[in-house]
Amino acid sequence: MSAARTSATEPAFDLGPALLFCPADRPDRYAKALDRADAVILDLEDGVAPAGRAEARRAVVAASRALDPERVVVRVNPVGTPDHRADLDALAGTSFRTVMVAKADASLPATLDARLGECRVVALCETAAGVVAAAELARRPEVVALMWGADDLVASLGGTSSRRADGRYRDVARHARSTVLLAAGAAGVAAIDAVHLAVDDLDGLRVEAEDAAAVGFAATACVHPSHVAVIRAAYAPPEGDVTAARGLLAAAEGHDGVFVHEGRMIDGPLLKQAEAVVRRATPRS
């Protein structure tokens, strides 16, 4: 199930804009999470206490008979840990083949190839080593998406906070976000924006999700069901923008090169942006 690299504007990984994390030790929440979001990320890593991971694996295995595997991502523990090996052993007996590897870095590929063979991998770049390796990870044939994380990143640097007092990301987090987005775009894979941990800060979430959609992220991950609607709304372009984009693309059909449309000089990049607006407004089949 390796990704087919078509173009940077059409990533092979497209589950929808709102990806909801669900602790893997709460199987009672699996179906609810999948029903509320575009896809669910069953979390075998930070969402589960180490003592509960064996039982969580058994729950994930049992759930593979009931959940749509095409809309499920399983976050596994970091490469090189005993939990990582146990996670992959458990998943080998399921229909789940999209895995998110926590704290991914340059050590990712060989281990995954040996354990799961043809799998779809979301590389979670959430440490200094992971962000530095983002471009290398994005070029791996099994990697279909990159995601980044702010708080593990800052922790890996010995820091204490990824955000300023006003809620904005600190510069190092913003740099990591841009680095991961650029690496994904250059390789033609999807980029997933980080979770907004302030559950009640829906305005802050909206601002970040709108920015994510504007700069090219394919999705935003979240940790609470109340965030799903906000993310979906942020990624859905306004009706006026869709109408304008369709009008621009229709006008372009009569031109081979640069042309003027409604007083504005139009060239290739602006047409690609219009195509992206229409694509986001088009329901997935």
Length of the chain: 285
Task: Please report the pLDDT score of residue 1 as a whole number.
Answer: 34
Query: Of 191, 269, 200, 260, nearest to 230 (Cα)?
Result: 200
Query: Of 218, 77, 196, nearest to 146 (Cα)?
Result: 218
Task: Please report the pLDDT score of residue 258 as a whole number.
Answer: 81
User: Could you tell me the pTM of the whole model?
Assistant: 0.85
Task: Please report the pLDDT score of residue 284 as a whole number.
Answer: 64
Alpha-carbon gap, residue 156 to 120, rounded angstroms: 26
Task: Please report the pLDDT score of residue 173 as a whole number.
Answer: 98
Using alpha carbons only, give the angle 109, 115, 121 rounded to the nearest 5 degrees.
50
Sheet strands (E) in the chain: 18-23, 39-43, 72-76, 98-101, 120-125, 143-148, 190-193, 219-222, 259-261, 264-266
Question: In angstroms, what CA-CA distances link 64 with 57, 92, 94, 96, 101?
Answer: 11, 11, 6, 7, 19
Task: Please report the pLDDT score of residue 283 as a whole number.
Answer: 67
Structure tokens at 71: 């809309």
Task: Please report the pLDDT score of residue 6 as a whole number.
Answer: 42
Alpha-carbon gap, residue 84 to 73, rounded angstroms: 15
Task: Please report the pLDDT score of residue 93 as a whole number.
Answer: 86
Task: Please report the pLDDT score of residue 74 as a whole number.
Answer: 98
Residue 215 near residue 181 (C-beta atoms within 8 A): yes
Per-residue pLDDT in tens (0 to 9) along the chain, 285 residues: 333 344 444 456 889 999 999 999 999 999 999 999 999 999 999 999 999 999 999 999 999 999 999 999 999 999 999 999 999 999 998 999 999 999 999 988 777 767 766 789 999 999 999 999 999 999 999 999 999 999 999 999 999 999 999 999 999 999 999 999 999 999 999 999 999 999 999 999 999 999 999 999 999 999 999 999 999 999 987 776 777 778 777 778 877 788 788 878 777 877 787 877 777 777 665
- List Cβ neighbours of 225 (8 Å cut-off, separation of 6 or more): 20, 32, 33, 36, 37
Task: Please report the pLDDT score of residue 259 as a whole number.
Answer: 74
Count of beta carbons in the 10 Å neighbourhood of residue 144: 26
Task: Please report the pLDDT score of residue 269 as a whole number.
Answer: 77
Alpha-carbon gap, residue 84 to 92, rounded angstroms: 12
Alpha-carbon gap, residue 56 to 49, rounded angstroms: 10
